[in-house]
Amino acid sequence: MATENKNLSQYDKSILPDASGFKIGIVVSEWNEQVTGGLHQGAVDALLDCGVLKEHLLEWQVPGSFELIYGCKRMSTTHAYLDAIIAIGCVIQGETKHFDFVCEGVTQGIKDLNMQGDIPVIFCVLTDNTLQQSLDRSGGKHGNKGVEAAIAAIKMAEIRRLSAF
């Protein structure tokens, strides 16, 4: 297991870019809210801890993980001032192929947004076999993948900022 011995919530603020001027969007799936709520809180807490101002956070909810693509696209086109967007979702394996279709669609959709758009979209979508695995990665024994996504957003926002010169 990739996260078996890694706590995703550990980061060193001293080596991160100054995030105080960054404006970050967060699009959160309502499906599997117990998990996505934890991921969302972890992302917000880390962003605030790293200096992003609360008033510089734009937060939207969408019904499910598949809808993250449209939510992120609309957020990027209607709020072009954003420096990065975090897409937060959770898809848990079930008894049908639905899991495969949703995971593939969301992954490709967010990849396409990054290829075609100007605002980096951070993939924070858990694709686990069980609810417990997702809970372990959204504030449980493996830390919080939302924190990791927030740190990735700050780093990508800095790349975007530096490439604008």
How would residue 5 be classed by pLDDT, with cut points 50, 70 and 90? low
The answer to whether 37 and 7 are in contact (CB under 8 A) is: no
Q: What integer pLDDT is reported at residue 11 of this predicted model?
A: 87
Which active-site residues does the annotation give?
98
pLDDT digits (tens, 9 = 90+) for 126-150: 999 999 999 989 888 888 999 999 9
| φ, ψ of residue 27 in degrees (nearest 5) | -115, 120
For the chain, the domains span 20-153
Between CA 38 and CA 135 the distance in angstroms is: 8
Torsion 115-77-147-28 (CA) sign: negative
- Is the pTM higher than 0.85? The answer reads yes
Pairing of strands 84-92, 24-29: parallel
| pLDDT tens string 81-93 | 999 999 999 999 8
How do residues 38-70 score in pLDDT, each as one tens digit?
999 999 999 999 999 999 999 999 999 999 999
Per DSSP, the chain holds a count of helices (H) and strands (E) of: 5, 6
pLDDT the model gives residue 1: 41
20-153: what fold? Rossmann fold (3.40.50)
Kindly tell me the sign of the dihedral angle through the C-alpha atoms of 155, 160, 163, 165.
Answer: negative
